[in-house]
Amino acid sequence: MANKVNITIDGIKLYVPANYTILQAAKEVGINIPTLCFLKDVNEIGCCRMCVVEVKGSKALQAACVHPVKEGMVVYTHTPKVMEARKVTLELILSNHNANCQTCERSWMDCELQALANKMSVGDVRFEGDNAKLPLDIGPSIVRDPNKCILCRRCVSMCKNTQTVSVIDLVNRGFKTQVAAPFDMPLSETPCVNCGQCITVCPVGALHEKQDIDKVWEAIYDPEKVVLVQTAPAVRVALGEDFNMPIGTPVTGKMVTALKMLGFDKVFDTDTAADLTIMEEVGELIDRVRGGGKLPLITSCSPGWIKFCEHNYPEMLENVSSCKSPHQMFGAVLKSYYAEKNDIDPKSIVTVSIMPCTAKKFEAARPEMEVDGLRDVDYVLTTRELGQMIYDVGIDFPSLGDSTFDNPFGKATGAGVIFGATGGVMEAALRTAADLLTDTSADNIEYEAVRGLEGIKIAKIQIADLTLRAAVAHGLGNARKLMEAIKNGEEFHFIEIMACPGGCVNGGGQPLQLSDVRNWIDIRAERAKGLYTEDRASFIRKSHNNPAVKKLYKEYLGMAGGTKAHHLLHTHYTERKNYE
């Protein structure tokens, strides 16, 4: 048992682990000390001073988020001195903040600064800041508004320490301090991978996705357009959070109903394309293992990871699967097979992807992502953007009934569903590889070794006479560690990498949660539970058994990895400089 100490907080005696901070100890007895810069495991530096408390015997106020407990400590969390210090700090932040709350991206969601101002009853701000008007940095996926930045440093810590991309940091000093890219470059000219993890940790509206809602509405209202929408697996276990439903609640049927009410002509499930991806990717893996091809084979579903690899490990690009990501595959199929089967001019089709990911916006715009002059995907909306569309038209989402996805792609498999969690692509691939390599149907399809939130998971899987060595990494810091291990000689057959910590369930486009939630609940685990629940409830749990995918190959694509499949479903990558 860990060492424990006796402390007193606001007159309450506690016996807590010796490695606790005052913030953690206070939480044990229901005392919620306000925080702003603090984010557990991401930014623990005590810079904003919102969480200050009095510690008996100390002249200065202490930051509860970083101050360790010790035997006999006596803490006061709401003395007049503490309350005034917090209020002054908050007013100083507000004095320099572009508070156009009515039109802010966070106005319909949760702004942590606004929540603090309400909680602390801040009405008039006694100070007047500079409020200089700085230009927006508008990239293909992310918009950065320095006028709303409160210098909490969460985005810097996420980008530098968790993701190891390091394209933003504090620049200048004093009142001129900003968060910016080197030499004040636009993010689009840096090695930014568009993962959007900076957005997920920003407490205000200083970072948000580049929105395409208006363009999608325009397409929906155009009678000459056939607007087809697809939804990624991770969306279904997060969308409900935008409407105050419990974290991780599967809302698949309600989501389909809402999309049909919004006016999309057909609603499809990207999980079907995940099954299609497995067919192509497993075929590629088997060819490489049997034919002595380039190993390890690395998954290509995460566009943030792909761009990270292009910048940092161009020598490994031959190892990356040539498969497009599932939604890009689906876009290509909808504008070819589906258009042909339904006698629709593919030029009139508008494909919209609902994704948990901001990097998908960049991916959809890549020049490689088109076939015969037609873009695979025309517009990408994040889960948050879909939530906003539903909210804007007044749909009472929690009260909706369930609808089903449209045919001919109405039912996907459990394997497709788990693509949204770290380890899910690997597990889906192993379920199919085991059957195809042995020409049998394996009963045991639960590959527990590749599940969970450990940063890097390594597993040995025995399939017939082949011992497959696999690895799974999530978060780009862990991806970097794994790539360095490979460069140093560690050998694998197959690797799954997701750019976002936890995988797509924690993508940069998912609903935002206040730090008061993120500090104490692992939203990644809760959302992943929802996906595995859907997987277990699925009648078909292996990608190669998906009847829609079988029919697609039989009627149109031919064999997996064949000429037509390669033309529609595969791509190539580009070595990129670290700074253009």
Helix ranges, 404-518 (H)? 414-417, 424-438, 476-487, 515-518
368 classed as catalytic: yes
580 classed as catalytic: no
Out of 266, 307, 360, 457, the active site residue is 360
The CB-side HSE value for 208 (13 A sphere, CA atoms) comes to 24
Out of 54, 241, 280, 284, the active site residue is 284
Count of CB atoms situated within 10 Å of the CB of 74 = 14
Out of 157, 321, 353, 538, the active site residue is 321
Cβ-proximal residues to 92 (8 Å cutoff; 6+ apart), any chain: 127, 129
Out of 363, 385, 427, 534, the active site residue is 363
Specify whether the CB–CB gap between 523 and 200 falls below 8 A: no
Q: What are the start-end ranges of the E strands in 201-288?
A: 207-209, 226-231, 266-269
Count of CB atoms situated within 10 Å of the CB of 14 = 18
Catalogue the long-range contacts made by 118-123 (C-beta closer than 8 Å, 24 or more residues apart). 119/34, 120/34, 120/86, 120/87, 120/90, 122/87, 122/90, 122/91, 122/94
310 classed as catalytic: no
Tell me how far apart the alpha carbons of residues 576 and 520 are, in angstroms, rounded to a whole number.
Answer: 39
Number of helices and strands in the chain (H, E): 20, 20
* Token reading at 390: 């539903």
Count of CB atoms situated within 10 Å of the CB of 528 = 28
Out of 71, 318, 368, 490, the active site residue is 368
Count of CB atoms situated within 10 Å of the CB of 238 = 31
Residues for the chain: how many in total? Answer: 580
Question: At how many degrees (to 10) do helices 383-392 and 252-262 cross?
Answer: 60
454 classed as catalytic: no
284 classed as catalytic: yes
Nearest CA-CA partner of 324 in 332, 335, 316, 315: 332
Out of 241, 281, 385, 427, the active site residue is 281
Q: Which residue has the tokens 């000689």?
A: 489
48 classed as catalytic: no
Nearest CA-CA partner of 512 in 28, 35, 39: 39
* Token reading at 72: 């006999």
Specify whether the CB–CB gap between 5 and 73 falls below 8 A: yes
Specify whether the CB–CB gap between 75 and 55 falls below 8 A: yes
Helix ranges, 319-420 (H)? 326-333, 339-341, 359-365, 383-392, 414-417
Q: Mind telling me the catalytic residues?
A: 281, 284, 301, 321, 360, 363, 368, 504
